[in-house]
Amino acid sequence: MTLNEGTFAVPDDVDAVVPDPRILLYPRLRKSPFFWASRRHGVAMYSVYNHTYHPRHYGDPVAEYWALLHGVTLWDVGVEKQIEITGPDAFAFTNMLVPRDLTKCEVGQCKYVFITAEDGGILNDPVLLRLGENHFWLSLADSDILLWARGLAYRSGMDVTIEEADVGPVQVQGPLAGQVMAALFGEDIFDIGYYRLREYMLDGMEVIVSRTGYTAELGFEIYVKNASRDGVRLWETVWAAGEPFGMKVIGPCHMRRIEAGILAHGCDITYRTNPFEVGMGYDWMVDLEQESDFIGKEALTRIKQEGVSRRLAGVEIGGPPLGTYNDGSMIEAFPVWHGGERVGEVTSACFSPRLERNIGFAMVPTGLSEIGTELDIETPAGVVSAVVVPKPFVDPAKDTPKQAFLGGNGHTHTEN
């Protein structure tokens, strides 16, 4: 056999950029417990999140946005790995991990929490589920907290067990979510309060249902235990219950989460961001008055006393409509300019279909984070003008996801 040099030729054309390259499907990356089920609905784009394929959308992110606002949606969030902490010292250990005071978290309650490093940087922002006095799940965003927690436990002397549970969540979200959930579990599902949880058996499957989600809409998450065995069956069961209500399968609706001021770890916040820089509603995530110590308490006490030098601001951005964020239209953060100097960056941005304008978050010097400050932002279409505005952009009090459910129509209607 003779080697053919042409076989190994590579293009030397510097303009040979493939604008939308494929993602490789192969055994090395992990699969959600629902991977084979959600795939059948026509996943059009994956990314990788917690070392796992993450369905981003199914062909039309804008249609998915409207389905979320007006109907009911099903979302594969099996990428949210569940770190389970148990053992006699589980409460003390978990309370050390997070800046919120978990003495105020009852069994059966959920909390949105930051996990902070010793310098106050945000390592992750999971939803915490308290399943027992000494039994917690951390429903992770995208970073390796299992290794962090195990490393801390190794030298802590505490009696805890830390594992990744065989659990996978799906989200059922949208104004008709209550009707689908009632069809699955009965109307006592409406008794679950906002950020509360309850255990159920569903056709022989053990599940935890919580009134949580990543959409700022009415909705639930269903965490199936023994997910590697029951994941696909749970998906099919939920889908069968949802079809009569027009259920649509969607990916993460970043347009809606940006409207709501919901953060994305790895984009809006990282280990280089401290909670006080997030500002505008997230300061309550740090309880410096609690008696217990937590990792980062000393640093965050100092930072609060000294003040921060930058802050995450809401911005309205001019120019032509941006993309949907999860469509590959924002490859990099957008540079922010003021007075001819680069002063920060836009961490998330999109075109809001309902507001009919571009919106986003920008990390800028504190002095430039005041409402009404004019900025210039470098977008793919060129440099455009922008202005700092209040965030969240829609429903700042979260009245929509907090509202009570009723039987019949599935939920009460409130003015947004």
Give the residue ranges of the annotated binding site for substrate: 221
| Helix axes 90-97 and 145-156, enclosed angle (nearest 10) | 120
Query: Residue 12 burial by CB count (10 A; 0-12/13-18/19+): exposed, middle or buried?
Result: exposed
Q: Are 375 and 364 in contact (CB under 8 A)?
A: yes
Binding-site residues, in ranges, read 221
